[in-house]
Structure 1
Amino acid sequence: MIKLVRTILLMAAIVVFAACGKKEAEVETIVIGHKNYTEARVLGQLFAVMIEDNTGYNTDVRELGGTQIAYEALKTGDISLYPEYSGTVYGALLGESGMKDPDEVYNHVKEKLKENDNLDFLNPLGYNNTYTLAVRPETAEKYNLKTFSDIAENAGDLVIGATMEFLEREDGMLGLKKTYPGMEFKDEKGLDGGLRYTAIKDGKTDVADAFSTDGKLITYNLVILEDDKNFFPPYYVAPLLNGEFAASHPEVVAALEKLAGQISEDEMQQLNYRADEEGLPARVVAEEFLKERGLIK
């Protein structure tokens, strides 16, 4: 009798453990993609932490290459979502130009993404990570530089160090020259993304292309100039989701929408600085920010 009871208890335990294991195995893992630079890594982790904290899902955050790779992975369902910028969709994915109003650009690309590829562009996180030009403080003071127009008036005395992509793109240096007549620099040096900051710090160049939320702007104490003719389109970031995934996972959409309007340009710059210059893992940077903002426990 005792042996029978032990056998029954053993079988019951096996059933319980098997059920728990099955339940654990059935927890869905949401695949989040991001591009291959600091801000994208931080954003990917922000999305992951919000999803994990607000739903019962696990996440798998994957670093991809550039815009086209991430976009194709989203359309095919290899990833379920990734952070994207309104200006990137507008210029690089749709191949359009002309619009400058942030809301018009966002609403336009949101509509086109849904219409063309059944993708859902959620509400923006709040900040605009647009292209800009940056100079050392002493250069700004010497030439009284505050705007792109000021740069155009003094370009003949200055050397720009920028990425080759920026120098060769119509929505980069080529277009700037048309919008700001006189923006013909003494020399244009094509540099790796990181090296352009070293070059301007060492005085080998005078002007650098940059993103307005780049943490290295803090590191090197550079002055951001105003695009006074609004050449660059707005680059408002938002979660971009596969449409079928979004429809079947409303709780994920709800979790990500809590991030809408929560991050300013200065705050994103600080997050990038912490990850890029202080060397903190992107996951830690994301968790600490969300806790401070009261978005997670």
Structure 2
Amino acid sequence: MKARLTHGWKIAVATLAVVSVASCGLESGGALPLSVNPGSIQPIPELQGVKVTVGSKDFTEQIVLGYIIEFALSAAGADVRDLTNIQGSNSTRDAQLNGQVDVTYEYTGTGWINYLGNETPVPDPRAQYEATRDADLATHDMVWSDPAPMNNTYALAMSRDTATRTGVKTISDYARLVESDPGAAVTCVETEFNVRQDGYPGLAAKYGFDAGRSQRSILQSGIIYQATADGDQCKFGEVFTTDGRIIALDLVLLDDDLAFFPKYNPAIVVKKNFSQAHPEISQVMAPISALLTNDVITEMNRQVDVDGREPADVARDWLVSEGFVTVG
């Protein structure tokens, strides 16, 4: 998925945090990069001084969402530690299961497919959430709050020139092109998507084409968008539907006409014992999650990935604009 940090010191700190999580463990992360004051989120006595470590994965949207949690809980009075930008879904999940991360935004599709081992997504987003919530609680003692309406699912994209030249509109069209002319369907994907069951292997199985015939290049997520827009190295590219670069680069999304990709609605996830000790966390986050639509998160992602703003600044500015927090 998407990754962007613009200052070297942030990369160094994030790398150190990841190494700590993977090796000796980490009881708390770093300090918040920016301060906030209460807005509509007022200090909650039960959260005063409570140590809360917030984690996220290492791509733009997750980092923004992580900072949103951090600023909201800080305004509520918690002693928040920053452990955003952990490399990969599995590392982030392991950090939470091991108690190194207390709170994160996780996606229902990732929970259902990757963490719970299911191969078939549930088409209805609410049913997908409920199935994930119930199974993860029973299996791993993880508590999922109600999800946000945004859906950051996978998609395949192409430039308008590629769309015109190939006539591809749907993933079924793409599958036929892979079989008939693999060189015209060179596809750029990131490492994780290339092996995930809700990624390329599952896509090939669902649409009935031979993944072994396809020509794929493994690139970092941040490079795929521009390379797909250029259309030379990447005729098609793996993207995420809430990424602001889709609009900025005028990319065309292929219609998932067989509805393969799961729904990826983010929800606050907390371990059961932590949730029982601090139910106020989900209460603070509920009205925030309710406002996180595709349009809202796409604009925040665009500000980071296109305009070059810092994720922390974007997250705090949005919370301020909605009145949740203030700045002195």
TM-score bucket of the superposed structures, by smaller chain: 0.7 to 0.9
Which of 171, 188, 197 is matched with 2:225 structurally? 197
Cα offsets for 1:162-183 (capped at 9, x unmatched): 1233233333222222222357
Instruction: Compute the displacement of 1:229 (Å).
Output: 0.8
Matching residue of 2:207: 180
Of residues 176-185 and 93-102 in structure 1, the stretch that sits farther from structure 2 once superposed is 176-185
- The percentage of counterpart residues that share the same residue type is 28
1:47 maps to which residue?
A: 69
Find the aligned partners of 2:146 and 2:253 in 1 and give their Cα distance: 27
Closer, same or farther: CA 183–266 of 1 in aligned 2, 3 Å:
farther
Correspondence for 1:295: 324
- Cα displacement string for residues 91-137 of structure 1 (whole angstroms, at most 9, x for unaligned residues): 11111022322222211110112112221111112111111000101
CA apart distance, 1:85: 0.6
Partner of 1:13: none
Map 1:259-278 onto structure 2 (within 5 A): 259-278=288-307
- Secondary structure of the corresponding residue to residue 288 of structure 2: coil
Alpha carbon RMSD of aligned pairs, Å?
2.1
2:264 aligned partner? 235
Query: Which residue pairs with 2:188 in the alignment?
Result: 161
Q: Which amino acid aligns with 1:180?
A: Y
Confirm whether residue 171 of structure 1 aligns to residue 198 of structure 2: yes
- C-alpha change, 1:164 and 1:30, in structure 2 (3 Å) is closer
C-alpha displacement at 1:220, in angstroms? 2.1
The aligned amino acid for 1:254 is: Q
Q: What does 1:63-74 align with in structure 2 at a 5 Å threshold?
A: 63=84, 64-74=86-96
Larger radius of gyration between Structure 1 and Structure 2: 1
- Classify the secondary structure of the residue corresponding to 2:260: coil
User: 1:195/1:284 Cα in 2 relative to 1: closer, same or farther (>3 Å)?
Assistant: closer
2: CA distance, partners of 1:263 / 1:224: 22
Q: Which runs of 5+ in 1 are unaligned?
A: 1-25
CA distance, structure 1, for counterparts of residue 139 and residue 214 of structure 2:
44
**TM (normalized to structure 2)?**
0.76
- Cα distance in 1 for partners of 2:315, 2:138 equals 32
TM-score computed with the length of structure 1 as normaliser: 0.84
Which of 77, 80, 88 is matched with 1:59 structurally?
Answer: 80
Q: Secondary structure at the match of 1:59?
A: strand
Per the TM alignment, residue 260 of structure 1 is displaced from its structure 2 partner at its CA by 3.0
Cα shift at 1:87: 0.7
Contact 1:127–1:261 (CA under 8 A) maintained in structure 2: no
Q: Aligned residue for 1:92?
A: 114
Q: Which moved more, 1:121-130 or 1:265-274?
A: 265-274
Q: Does 1:112 align with 2:135?
A: yes
1:50-92, CA deviations, whole angstroms, 9 ceiling, x for partnerless residues? 2122x22231111322222222222232221111111111111
Give the superposition deviation at 1:215: 2.6
Q: Judging changes above 3 Å, is the alpha-carbon distance between structure 1 residues 77 and 168 closer, same or farther for their aligned structure 2 residues?
A: closer
